[in-house]
């Protein structure tokens, strides 16, 4: 018996609202105000890194302002068929174009660069390609999203569709989108990636977590990005 | 991927039979203790009921509202009905959000630290049943 596959309720899910709509008024105002949002320290650090190195990111890409709109299109399928999120793309540039070793998922340097690049798409509508080679990844992500998992036997949508707006302990459940990531989370006392947040949700239902950067999470990230189509990029988000 | 419980796990789940929407007999014939059950219900590491439910206790901070408030549940439901809802609510509603607290079969990708074990033991289930049975409507 395979429990919980194909939750019929998901098909009739109510509208998907941006994460900022679920924030407390205080956090929402703080997220909108760079002077009161510690996530912008990571943006500053990322912009400094952008200009550093030999060759620097800047020497190929020009001013980081040119990265506007990129985060709204990610994850994408690269020419070699791999699905890359922004972190994965930046790591590739490090290794292939800068000849450096990988910086490592969740390292401060990769988080800073990713946050700086993503911040250039703030307010722009999400629009990922899900046709062609991306279609199979989208389905993989959808299956993960809709399958009950863990000892507590819950699928993502049972919280993020069926119970959005309700309280889980002190949290108001949002629609579970990735548009605010990398995000500064007060609980983390720093900026973290979407994959780190996904690990927390899996831990919550006592499921086996995937590694940071795992292809399973990147496929899920594509599904979440597609769910968020048309909604604004919020990165760097501010979360409790 | 479907993880089938190993024999040791199965041994940790008490056998039971369902009559209508209830498990009438206490698991393993154990007697529940309401005070212990209150502690299990409040425990934020294991059962974590209050992440989703409110109990009538104004001193408890941050109670969730995913599930119905548990005030009066002892008047609404019999002990047997409560028992089934704790053991495995998907037997009543395949889309249930409430986790199965005494089941190991048919779960997917369970963290290996918990694999083959139910969230609550038979004794803990009986303790929680005993506690919830005390949550009567005020008028009674
Ligand atoms: C030597 C040239 C070079 C350097 C240095 C370089 N990149 Fe790239 N970058 C590219 C090329 C070429 C692409 C297009 C995809 C590819 O072929 O890898 C790209 C693609 C990207 C993209 C995706 C853009 C899109 O529209 O999809 C991002 C984001 C990016 N680079 C960030 C960085 C960052 C951050 C650094 C520094 C850590 C960096 N790059 C360093 C050459 C470079
Ligand atoms: C038991 C309930 C529950 C389940 C199941 C669950 N989550 Fe979450 N999730 C939460 C809560 C609570 C938060 C924090 C509040 C919020 O932002 O929604 C959260 C946050 C998130 C966020 C961050 C949203 C933001 O803007 O900060 C994402 C993304 C997310 N979840 C995705 C998922 C995915 C994908 C799954 C399945 C693998 C999943 N969640 C499973 C409860 C859950
Ligand atoms: C992840 C959320 C969640 C957790 C954790 C949870 N419940 Fe529930 N509970 C629900 C929901 C939702 C319902 C309504 C039925 C459904 O959809 O599953 C419910 C129903 C019930 C009912 C039936 C109430 C009625 O009036 O019909 C009882 C009793 C109950 N829960 C007790 C508990 C106890 C005790 C615990 C902890 C051992 C617990 N629940 C943990 C979500 C939860």
- Give dist(CA A100, CA A93) in Å, integer: 9
Taking CB atoms and an 8 Å cut-off, how many pairs form between chains A and B?
A: 84
The pLDDT score that the predictor gives to residue B5 is: 43
**Residue among B90, B111, B115 minimizing CB distance to A3:** B90
Superfamily of domain covering A17-240: Cytochrome c-like domain (1.10.760.10)
- Interface predicted TM-score (ipTM): 0.94
Per-10-residue mean pLDDT of chain B, 140 residues long, equals 45 92 98 98 95 94 95 98 98 97 97 97 98 87
pLDDT at residue A72 greater than cutoff 80: yes
- Give dist(CA A76, CA B56) in Å, integer: 50
| B52 neighbourhood in chain A, CB within 8 Å | 168
The pLDDT score that the predictor gives to residue B138 is: 76
- Give dist(CA A83, CA A134) in Å, integer: 8
Show the DSSP H helices in chain A as ranges: 8-11, 25-32, 39-51, 57-61, 70-73, 86-92, 108-119, 134-146, 156-160, 194-204, 215-227
| B50 neighbourhood in chain A, CB within 8 Å | 169
A7/A189: higher pLDDT = A189
pLDDT, tens only, B17-39: 999 999 999 999 999 999 999 99
Pick among A208, A214, A220, A240 to test the B interface (most B CBs inside 10 A) = A208
Nearest CA residue ID for atom 18, ligand 1: A93
A159 catalytic residue (yes or no) = no
The pLDDT score that the predictor gives to residue A15 is: 87
Domain extent listing, chain A = 17-240
Superfamily of domain covering B7-133: Cytochrome c-like domain (1.10.760.10)
CB A7 to CB B95 under 8 A?
A: yes
pLDDT, tens only, A90-141: 999 999 999 999 999 999 999 999 999 999 999 999 999 999 999 999 999 9
**Residue partners of A16: CB distance under 8 A and separation at least 6:** A175, A177, A227, A228, A231
Cis peptide before A236 (omega within 30 of 0): yes
pLDDT at residue A144 greater than cutoff 50: yes
User: CA of A126, closest CA in chain B: separation in Å?
Assistant: 29
pLDDT at residue A9 greater than cutoff 50: no
Q: Name beta bridge partners: A84.
A: A76
The pLDDT score that the predictor gives to residue A6 is: 37
β pairing state of A167-168 and A171-172: antiparallel
**Residue partners of A158: CB distance under 8 A and separation at least 6:** A7, A9, A148, B95, B97
User: CA of B86, closest CA in chain A: separation in Å?
Assistant: 12
């Amino acid at each position: 018996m395979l429990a919980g596959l194909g939750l019929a309720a998901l098909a009739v899910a109510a509208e998907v609202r941006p994460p900022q709509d679920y924030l407390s008024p205080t956090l929402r105002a703080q997220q909108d105000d760079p002077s009161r949002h510690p996530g912008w320290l990571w943006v500053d650090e990322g912009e400094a890194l952008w200009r550093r190195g030999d060759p620097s990111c800047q020497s190929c890409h020009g001013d980081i302002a040119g990265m506007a709109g990129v985060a709204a299109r990610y994850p994408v399928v690269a020419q070699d068929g791999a699905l890359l999120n922004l972190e994965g793309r930046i790591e590739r540039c490090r290794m292939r174009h800068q000849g450096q070793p990988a910086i490592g998922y969740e390292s401060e340097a990769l988080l800073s660069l990713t946050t700086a690049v993503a911040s250039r798409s703030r307010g722009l509508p999400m629009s990922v390609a899900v046709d062609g080679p991306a279609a199979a990844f989208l389905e993989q992500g959808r299956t993960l999203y809709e399958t009950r998992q863990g000892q507590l036997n819950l699928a993502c949508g049972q919280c993020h569709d069926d119970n959005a707006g309700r309280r889980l302990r002190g949290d108001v459940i949002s629609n579970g989108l990735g548009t605010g990531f990398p995000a500064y989370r007060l609980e983390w006392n720093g900026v973290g990636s979407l994959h780190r947040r996904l690990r927390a949700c899996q831990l919550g239902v006592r499921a086996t977590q995937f590694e940071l950067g795992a292809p399973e999470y990147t496929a899920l990230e594509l599904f979440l990005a597609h769910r968020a189509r048309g909604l604004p990029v919020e990165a760097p988000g501010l979360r409790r | 991927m479907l993880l089938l419980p190993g024999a040791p796990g199965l041994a940790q789940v008490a056998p039971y039979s369902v009559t209508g929407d209830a498990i009438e007999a206490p698991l393993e014939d154990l007697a529940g203790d309401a005070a212990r059950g209150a502690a299990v219900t409040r425990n934020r590491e294991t059962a974590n009921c209050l992440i989703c439910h409110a109990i009538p206790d104004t001193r408890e901070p941050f109670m969730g509202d995913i599930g119905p408030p548990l005030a009066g549940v002892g008047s609404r439901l019999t002990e047997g009905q409560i028992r089934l809802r704790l053991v495995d609510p998907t037997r009543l509603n395949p889309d249930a959000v409430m986790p199965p607290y005494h089941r190991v079969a048919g779960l997917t990708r369970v963290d290996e630290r918990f694999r083959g074990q139910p969230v609550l033991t038979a004794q803990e289930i009986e303790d929680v049943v005993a506690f919830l049975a005390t949550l009567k409507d005020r008028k009674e």
